[in-house]
Amino acid sequence: MKIKKIAFWLSTGLLTALMCFSVYNYFFNHETIAGFFETMGYPTYIIYPLALAKLLGLVTIWGNFSKWLKEWAYAGFFFNTLLAFFAHYMIGDGSQGGAAMALVLVLISYFTGKQVRP
């Protein structure tokens, strides 16, 4: 059980760091991020709502308010990281590694969290 707790807290902490780095860039490096979004064919008006959704998802996961909300937060992170992986893969920019790492962290945090947290 101790290894599962370590896996949960480590993966959740790393996921949080990765998402906070992403949110930081969305807010404070907007022009560069907007260029990336345009290159991938996404509209730039979703940058700020996506940053807010990531912050709210992290608050939900760490706050442990409601199991229902936590499930939706993990679902949001799962689809966000999965779609980010394929967006980077399809344009062939070679930077899908970060999205793949985030996807693995989401899955580890989710499945170990179901066993560790009440």
CB atoms within 10 A of CB 57: 22
Q: What is the largest CA-CA distance in the chain?
A: 45
Strand, coil or helix: what is 10?
Answer: helix
Instruction: Identify the band that residue 49 occupies on the pLDDT scale cut at 50, 70 and 90.
Output: very high
Q: What pLDDT is stored for residue 1 in this prediction?
A: 78
Instruction: Identify the band that residue 117 occupies on the pLDDT scale cut at 50, 70 and 90.
Output: confident
- Compute the average pLDDT of residues 16-30: 96
Sign of CA dihedral 75, 80, 86, 90: positive
Structure tokens at 63: 């706050």
- Compute the average pLDDT of residues 88-96: 87
